[in-house]
Structure 1
Amino acid sequence: MRQIFFDTETTGLEADKGDRIIEVGCVEMVNRQLTGNNLHLYINPERSSHEDALRVHGITDEFLADKPKFAQIADQLLEFLSGAELVIHNAPFDIGFVNAELKRLNRGVITDHVASVRDTLLMARDLFPGKANSLDALCRRLEVDNTKRVLHGALLDAELLADVYIRLTRGQDALLMDDHGDASGQEGHAAVAAVDLSRFELPVLRANAAETEAHTKLLTDLDKAAGGPCKWRSLEPAENVA
Structure 2
Amino acid sequence: MSTVLIVDDERPLLRALEINFRAHGYTVITAADGATALKTAARTPADIIILDLGLPDIDGMDVIRGLRGWTSTPIIVLSARHSSREKVQALDAGANDYVTKPFIIDELLARVRAASRARAQSPDLPEVKTAHFTVDLANQVARRGTENVRLTPTEWNILELLARNPGRLVSQQEILAHVWGNAYASESQYLRVYIGQLRRKLEPDPAHPAHLITEPGRGYRFER
- The TM-score bracket by the shorter chain reads under 0.3
Larger Rg: 1
The alignment's TM-score, normalised by the length of structure 2, stands at 0.25
The alignment's TM-score, normalised by the length of structure 1, stands at 0.23
